[in-house]
Structure 1
């Protein structure tokens, strides 16, 4: 039975750790927060205070971290994975991170006899704890084959996009579309309501036609129309992902005026919508 390390035991990492344990794996996790470590220990997950025991005992280490900078610190910083190099260790980054950071870290790990895949996830905390996430994956066929049993325990769908970094590019593109769709769907709902059409019936019609999206099919009925706003994914995290998209647009010189406007609106939302609010609150931009 393989041992899987999980670094980052927040909303997503906790769910993945519990799904792996339920799937028959030995799991050892760690988190920067002592409170979080204690909570997971209370749920039956073995926890360590640092990365040393994680690297020594694990065959695969999953990273579930909020930013590319933190991923880099965990892999290449003082006391990081590179300092605890273990030949053959496979690092799988499930975070939404910057592809250049991923490729740089992958090269460093390879030079130390290890390897890396990027496998960012969709599905939120519910998908993580039920093992029903979707993963878009960058890495070699060989590494994917090694990781597959563990990935199958935490995800229902996996798409191998290409080499290292391709998963993060795809996730950035996905979240940019989601971010833009939330804004356009909110404007469309307000337009229809002003013209006398019920929002729920409007979305039923849209979802039967070519204008539908994950936002109209899932986000609005699940978290918006009922004023739930409790998806488990915050404004701060989505603003970070949109910033990554804006950086990638600038880096590649891509002509993307509508995406640029979505990026501007998400950035300006920080003035009126707090970081810890649910990311679906963007539909209320200018209305609060």
Structure 2
């Protein structure tokens, strides 16, 4: 039985680990908060350290908040590079800095360890129900090798290019998500000012060419019901927007709309706390305007 590990058992990693158990894999878990021990009755075997899990498994999935933490887990003392066996393949589902991704992949390659960047969309619900969407960067051989595992935790996978391409694509995806939320909120406020029911507006938009992720999903699911419990925080989305802005800057892109979206997300930090749901951005009105 192929052994699969998951490092980082938060909102996303926990769902992936349990989906892998249902898929018939031998699943091992590690989390600094000790979550793995709470999942043992559900079939996830707890490991004592990064070194322990890296030396045990054939495929290791990372579900971590930032590139800095990925680098620490992979390159640090007792990390994956030092402890993983040759032939191991790491799949990083973090929404990460592509430059860091390439650095980590190169270091692992020197140790005979493969790497696929496979950021995910679909949130905690998608992880729990194995309906996530993944974009993949890596060699064709490594992508093919991890396909049975990824097919168990996701509904659709697109191999977009070499190492780093998955993370570039995910940053551009999240840039669009951030912009969609901002412009949709402006449309909703305009409708309210003109005595149009916002729910009827969104229903109408979703039947026309103006529909987007915010009108199709965010407003009906988390904003109109006022639950704001998507499982994705302002802190994480602001991080993704910062990375997207740095990506555009690195290629001297002419992108005034994207840059304004990035500015607004950054400016919102003074008004909306890091721990708040990222959909709260629709409540932000820039004081400068």
Shorter-chain TM band: over 0.9
**Residue 165 (structure 1) aligned with residue 177 (structure 2):** no
| Matches of 1:286 and 1:85, distance apart in 2 | 48
**Residue 11 of structure 2 corresponds to which residue in structure 1?**
11
The runs of 5 or more residues in structure 2 that have no matched partner are none
**Residue 271 of structure 1 corresponds to which residue in structure 2?**
270
| Matches of 2:213 and 2:177, distance apart in 1 | 8
Would you say the 8 A contact 2:51–2:84 is kept in 1? no
| Matches of 1:186 and 1:230, distance apart in 2 | 18
SS in structure 2 at match of 1:156: strand
Using the TM superposition, give the Cα deviation of residue 41 of structure 1 relative to its aligned residue in structure 2, in angstroms: 3.1
Using the TM superposition, give the Cα deviation of residue 42 of structure 1 relative to its aligned residue in structure 2, in angstroms: 4.8
**Residue 254 of structure 1 corresponds to which residue in structure 2?**
253
**Residue 112 (structure 1) aligned with residue 122 (structure 2):** no
Using the TM superposition, give the Cα deviation of residue 287 of structure 1 relative to its aligned residue in structure 2, in angstroms: 8.9
Would you say the 8 A contact 2:123–2:232 is kept in 1? yes
SS in structure 1 at match of 2:135: strand
Map of 1:87-106 to 2, 5 A cutoff? Answer: 87-106=86-105
SS in structure 1 at match of 2:39: helix
| Matches of 2:20 and 2:231, distance apart in 1 | 20
**Residue 199 (structure 1) aligned with residue 198 (structure 2):** yes
Using the TM superposition, give the Cα deviation of residue 38 of structure 1 relative to its aligned residue in structure 2, in angstroms: 3.2
The runs of 5 or more residues in structure 1 that have no matched partner are none
| Matches of 1:29 and 1:253, distance apart in 2 | 41
Map of 1:188-227 to 2, 5 A cutoff? Answer: 188-227=187-226
**Residue 23 (structure 1) aligned with residue 23 (structure 2):** yes
| Matches of 1:187 and 1:263, distance apart in 2 | 16
**Residue 144 (structure 1) aligned with residue 143 (structure 2):** yes
**Residue 51 of structure 2 corresponds to which residue in structure 1?**
52
SS in structure 2 at match of 1:157: strand
| Matches of 2:270 and 2:42, distance apart in 1 | 38
Using the TM superposition, give the Cα deviation of residue 43 of structure 1 relative to its aligned residue in structure 2, in angstroms: 3.8
Using the TM superposition, give the Cα deviation of residue 234 of structure 1 relative to its aligned residue in structure 2, in angstroms: 0.6
| Matches of 2:220 and 2:108, distance apart in 1 | 43
| Matches of 1:244 and 1:40, distance apart in 2 | 33
Q: Which has the larger displacement, 173-182 or 47-56?
A: 47-56
**Residue 243 of structure 2 corresponds to which residue in structure 1?**
244
Over 3 Å counting, the alpha-carbon distance change for 1:285 and 1:42 in structure 2 is: farther
Q: Which has the larger displacement, 42-51 or 125-134?
A: 42-51
| Matches of 1:280 and 1:42, distance apart in 2 | 34
Q: Which has the larger displacement, 259-268 or 38-47?
A: 38-47
Using the TM superposition, give the Cα deviation of residue 78 of structure 1 relative to its aligned residue in structure 2, in angstroms: 1.4
Would you say the 8 A contact 1:31–1:49 is kept in 2? no
| Matches of 1:155 and 1:170, distance apart in 2 | 17
**Runs ≥4 residues deviating over 2 A:** 36-44
Over 3 Å counting, the alpha-carbon distance change for 1:133 and 1:252 in structure 2 is: same
Using the TM superposition, give the Cα deviation of residue 270 of structure 1 relative to its aligned residue in structure 2, in angstroms: 1.1
Q: Render the CA deviation track for 1:22-51: whole Å, top value 9, x for unaligned.
A: 1100100101112x2333335431111211
| Matches of 1:279 and 1:27, distance apart in 2 | 31
RMSD of the alignment, in Å?
1.3
| Matches of 1:247 and 1:78, distance apart in 2 | 29
SS in structure 1 at match of 2:116: strand
**Residue 73 of structure 2 corresponds to which residue in structure 1?**
74
Using the TM superposition, give the Cα deviation of residue 104 of structure 1 relative to its aligned residue in structure 2, in angstroms: 1.1
